Amino acid sequence: MSSAGVDVGGTFTDLVAWDGRTLLVAKVPSTPDDQSRGVVAALERATEQPDGVLHGTTVATNALLERRGARTALVTTSGFEDVLAIGRQHRPSLYDSMVDRPEPLAQRRVGVDRASPGSGAVADLDDPESIAVSLLYGYRMHEMERSIAERVSQAYPGVPVSLSSEVVAEFREFERTSTTVLNAYLRPAMSRYLERLERALSSRGVAEVAVMRSSGGLMSLTDAGQLPAAALLSGPAGGVVAAAELSRAMGFERAISFDMGGTSTDVSRIEGGAAQLTFERPVAGYPCRMPSVDIHTVGAGGGSIGWRDSGGSLRVGPQSSGAMPGPAAYGRGGTLPTVTDANVMLGRIGALGRSLSLDGSAAERALADLGDQIGLSPAATARGIVTVVEETMAGAIRKVSVEEGVDPRGAVLIAFGGAGGLHAAALARRLDMEAAVIPRLAGVFSALGLLLSPPRIDVAQSINDLNELAWAAESTHDAALDGLVAATGGTGPVDQLVDLRYVGQSHELTVAARPGDAVDDLAARFHMLHRSRNGFARPDDPVEIVTVRAAAIGEPALRWDDVPPIATGEPSKPQERTIVAADGSRHAAAVHQRGSLATGNEIFGPAVIEDGESTTYLDPGDRATVAANGSLVIEW
């Protein structure tokens, strides 16, 4: 069965198709008004239509960021109607009195009697478009929530209902309710999009469509429509999966994935060839307690706009020129200077893709306009933009390493995305990392990651005491496996995890659970992890287990070991182009075509390496070696 991974970004929609023998790639502009049009446009570049499409989408994320979700009502336990408004004591900005938490997404909130929540009439919900049900102990009261859902559905036929016991069966009523409301808020928008996508693809003969989960696996269209909160990080998760596979294949014990696209940069830490997961994260200010790849995102991409702030300083992003009009150099009417324009001005980009030439004069005009405001020449402004955006991205890398107690020294930076190779070496040097690695197909690496991602079912269950551990382990294992069988018709391994904490602590750490583990085995792992993360452990203090997790994992469409070797083209004589180095010096740099490079080739900076979807820049003193799998390993 042939498959295509299609990843929608803020600027470009990328495709990697696999027919069992060869890989085909395509990159087209994204269509923000309806992402399915960009998906279809990417598929039109394929030589033959695939049987299945694996899709990374930002529809749920965009609907939340732009507040385009449904009119949502919340049914909860009486006395807890304001749990979303009260929240926690955490403040978005400790010293800024003008910053407040976002408004609750469920404006209409009603309570049901605590003693008998399944009886009585549900109050008027003001004509909702979606409904969330989250009782105080909903993680243990599935039947009660189900009963309320049946009564609500009778009163409001056709309106989707999200139950906290199905969305996230975990304790902490605020976070569970927030996640359930998020899910309800996004369901209609996600369902409408997926219906359009399914119609468009089925008319082209595509039989199966799957959507990327935030946790790094695939789910069916039906599950994605019912559980959009699980797809809030659908877009960037594919790249992290691919980076983890590459890290494992190349034997890197520690790596950091660095995905720089047109709109944002996503970074994530990889340990022992495995991506790190988190089980709660804020999205647009709203807690979302769903498993996700632990990604930190900053508004720094190739399309990020340079601007002068009120104090006269140069700033870059988070505003982006997007797909249209894009950077000034694209020649589509953009006039504001971007990171891409800066790289064009510095000679580091000469062409983008196989069909898009760049307008260097337009880039220079845009940079000159900003330079006039801050008193710099166009070239100096370009260097300033690159310096500022690289510091922003270095901060993101520190966030997932230094701030989590992990030293980035000794790790490698796996850089991809259309712009990742332009800045990877500079960032790795700045953080004293071991090397920077630019994989083959770097410009469409997240789409490749979709092909490498397995079907996945995530299940969690909070427990109240250790006597329930065996029951929770068995029930989550069986639920995850049953879900995988229902979604794919096949089985697979089930990974189990447990959340532990010292008695009296308010936060947990998650450790792996292995068959035959006793509580003492889990506690020993917890003590070690606690010492690593927090600098201390208390092995004599009692430990409690609060949540049991399971993830059933199927077979991916493509395994890394099956990726065909690089097909080296005819050796070509490098061209030459003048570039401006990081220190401002000008050099005649060799411009290589990546497709003509063979395993073992070495390229010394200053140099530029171009392919159809991305560009790699080497500053003076950098050295790139072509690995056997086609990756560029940059050292200095």
pLDDT tens digits, one per residue of 424-450: 999 999 999 999 999 999 999 999 999
Q: Which of 420, 423, 402 is nearest to 411 (CA)?
A: 402
Please determine, for residue 116, whether its predicted confidence score (pLDDT) is greater than 80. Answer: no
* SS3 state at 284: coil
290, 410: one domain: yes
Q: Is residue 570 part of a domain?
A: no
83, 172: one domain: yes
Q: Is residue 562 part of a domain?
A: no
Contacts of 311 (CB under 8 A, 6+ apart): none
Strand 435-438, strand 632-635: pairing: antiparallel
Q: Is residue 633 part of a domain?
A: no
Domain assignment of residue 158, given as a range: 69-185
76, 177: one domain: yes
CB 305 within 8 A of CB 397: no
Q: Which of 554, 492, 511 is nearest to 213 (CA)?
A: 554
290, 396: one domain: yes
Strand 72-77, strand 106-112: pairing: parallel
Mean pLDDT, the chain, whole residue set? 91
Question: How many Å separate Cα 130 from the centre of its chain?
Answer: 26
258, 395: one domain: yes
Strands (E), 378-507: 412-416, 435-438, 456-462, 494-502
pLDDT class for 464, splitting at 50, 70, 90?
Answer: confident
Q: Is residue 564 part of a domain?
A: no
Q: For the whole model, what pTM was predicted?
A: 0.91
287, 395: one domain: yes
**pLDDT tens per residue across span 366-410:** 999 999 999 999 999 999 999 999 999 999 999 999 988 889 998
179, 209: one domain: no
Total domain count for the chain?
A: 6
How many other β-carbons are positioned within 10 Å of the β-carbon of residue 591?
A: 17
Q: Which of 452, 476, 499 is the last residue of a domain?
A: 452
CATH code of the domain in which 466 resides: 3.30.1490
CB 422 within 8 A of CB 343: yes
Distance CA 605, CA 77 (A): 65
480, 543: one domain: yes
287, 408: one domain: yes
**pLDDT tens per residue across span 490-546:** 899 999 999 999 999 989 999 999 988 889 999 999 999 999 888 899 999 999 999
148, 27: one domain: no
